[in-house]
Amino acid sequence: MSEKSRETEKTNGFTLIEVLIAIFILTVGILAVAAMQIASIQGNATAASVTEAINTGTSEIEGLLQQGLNSYNGTGMLDRNNDGVAGLNNATAATADYNTVYGRYTVYWNVALDELFLSTKTIRIIIAWNDRGSLKSTMLNYIIPEII
């Protein structure tokens, strides 16, 4: 073989197929990072909603504690709205002891006497909101001793 034919057999650089494959791999990697960023943004938004809901519920319990809850006396489960349904898990406007709306958050609270321990009031705050088309909720429980 002549020296000239050996030089033509050597390849310098990349072929078009190699360049296309490299661009494809780079594109898949960039799309994966973009999808990860979208999931991260959605996770942060959900965390912010839960934090805001917890803050709303905490503000509600602070208001209840300032009132003293002295109107809740007696024994057993309370049925403040006299609907025949008493309990801590009542999370509808018709069955909860009380409900109010703060922006996109609906706060329900229920009080029970001696539910977990004797001489205590158990307050359950349930916060519900709509997040991207699905109903979300979180719950806060407070146990307050009866002062004699």
End-to-end CA distance of the chain: 110
Whole-number average pLDDT of the chain: 80
pLDDT over 60 (residue 74)? no
Q: What is the pLDDT of residues 105-125, one digit of tens each?
A: 999 988 877 777 788 888 889
Rounded Cα–Cα distance for residues 75 and 31 (Å): 61
Q: What pLDDT does residue 9 have?
A: 59
Q: What pLDDT does residue 77 have?
A: 47
Q: What pLDDT does residue 94 have?
A: 74
Q: Once rounded to an integer, what is the mean pLDDT over residues 7-30?
A: 85
Q: Are 143 and 124 in contact (CB under 8 A)?
A: no
116: which 2 tokens? 């977990």
140: which 2 tokens? 């806060």
Q: What is the pLDDT of residues 78-89, one digit of tens each?
A: 555 555 445 677
